[in-house]
Amino acid sequence: MLCGCIDLAGSLTFRTLLALFPALIALVSILGLFGQSEESVVSMLNEAEDIVPETAWGAVEPVLSEILNTPSAGLGLVLGLVTTLWTASGYVKTFGRAMNSIYDTTEGRGLIKYNLQMYLLTAFLLVLIALGIVAFSISGPIAEMIGSAVGLEETTLRIWGVARWIVIAVVVILLVGLLYRTTPNIRVRGMRWVSAGAVLAIGGAVLASLVFFFYVANFGNYNATYGTLAGVVILMLWLFIVNIVLLFGAVVDSEVERVRQLKAGMPAEESLQLEARDTVAIEKAEDQLARDVERARTVREAAGTAEPADTAGNPRPEG
Contact 126, 88 (CB under 8 A): yes
Q: Enumerate long-range contacts of 84-87, CB under 8 Å, 24 or more apart.
A: 84/19, 84/22, 84/23, 84/25, 84/26, 84/122, 84/126, 85/119, 85/122, 85/123, 87/15, 87/18, 87/19, 87/22, 87/23
Q: Is the dihedral of CA 63, 66, 68, 70 positive or negative?
A: negative
Strand partners, 315: 309
Question: Average pLDDT, whole number, for the chain?
Answer: 78
pLDDT band at 319 (very low <50, low <70, confident <90, very high): very low
Residues with Cβ within 8 Å of residue 209, at least 6 apart in sequence: 238, 241, 242
Question: Taking 50 as the threshold, does the pLDDT of residue 311 lie above it?
Answer: yes
pLDDT in tens, 66-108: 665 655 545 555 665 677 778 888 889 999 999 999 998 889 9
pLDDT in tens, 121-134: 988 888 888 777 77
CA angle 208, 212, 215 (to 5 degrees): 140
pLDDT band at 218 (very low <50, low <70, confident <90, very high): confident
Q: What is the pTM of this model?
A: 0.78
Q: Which residue has the higher pLDDT, 188 or 179?
A: 179
Question: Taking 80 as the threshold, does the pLDDT of residue 230 lie above it?
Answer: no
Q: What percent of the chain has pLDDT over 70?
A: 65
Give the residue extent of every domain in the chain.
2-301
CA distance 77 to 71: 8
| Residue 17 φ/ψ region, left for φ over 0, alpha for ψ in the -120 to 50 degree band, beta for the rest | alpha
